[in-house]
Amino acid sequence: MKQAFQTISVSTDGPGLYEFTGKAAQFLAREQAGDGLLTCFVRHTSASLVVQENADADVRKDLQDFFAALARKGMDYRHTAEGPDDMPSHIRAALTATSLAVPVQKGRALLGTWQGLYLFEHRDAPHRREVVLHYIGD
C-alpha cells in the first residue's frame, strides 16, 4: 500500500466553479497510481469542492446563481469582518463539501463521462486556493 500527497493551487477571479480534474489526473499519473482512493481537501472556509458536470457551462452558472440567492449578501449577519460577502461565503461552503473521495482504478479517477472536480469559489475577490490531493492504494 502506498500513499502520496500533493498540494495544488487553484487561482480564482471571483465566484464560480474552477475545474481541477486535469491536475488531479496528472498527480495520479506522476505517482503511478494503481487501484485506490483519491481524496481532495480544500484548505479554506469560504470555498468548497464539488463533483459537477463538465460539459455545459450553464450548469455551473446556474449553481452559482442558486447559491448566491440561497445565502445572500446584505442580510443582518454578525460576521462581516472581511466584507459583505464574508458570511454568505461561509454558509455556501458549509452547504457543500470540503473534501471529496474518488475511487481510482488502474490509475484513473472513476469519474462519470460528464463529471469533473471543481473548486467552488464563494468570495467576490480573486484568491489563490489550496487543494490537498491524497492518494492511497496500490
**What's the CATH fold of domain 2-137?**
Jelly Rolls (2.60.120)
The 10s digit of each residue's pLDDT in 76-116 is: 999 999 999 999 999 999 999 999 999 999 999 999 999 99
In the chain, where the domains are located: 2-137
- Strands 47-53, 115-121: pairing is antiparallel
Mean pLDDT along residues 1-9: 97
Sequence-ordered list of residues with C-beta below 8 angstroms from that of 5, at least 6 positions apart, any chain: 132, 133, 134, 135
The 10s digit of each residue's pLDDT in 38-66 is: 999 999 999 999 999 999 999 999 999 99
45 vs 61: CA distance, rounded Å: 21
The residue behind cell 445572500 is 72
What pTM does this model have? 0.96
97 vs 123: CA distance, rounded Å: 16
SS3 content of the chain, % helix, strand, coil (to 5): 25, 40, 35
The 10s digit of each residue's pLDDT in 117-127 is: 999 999 999 99
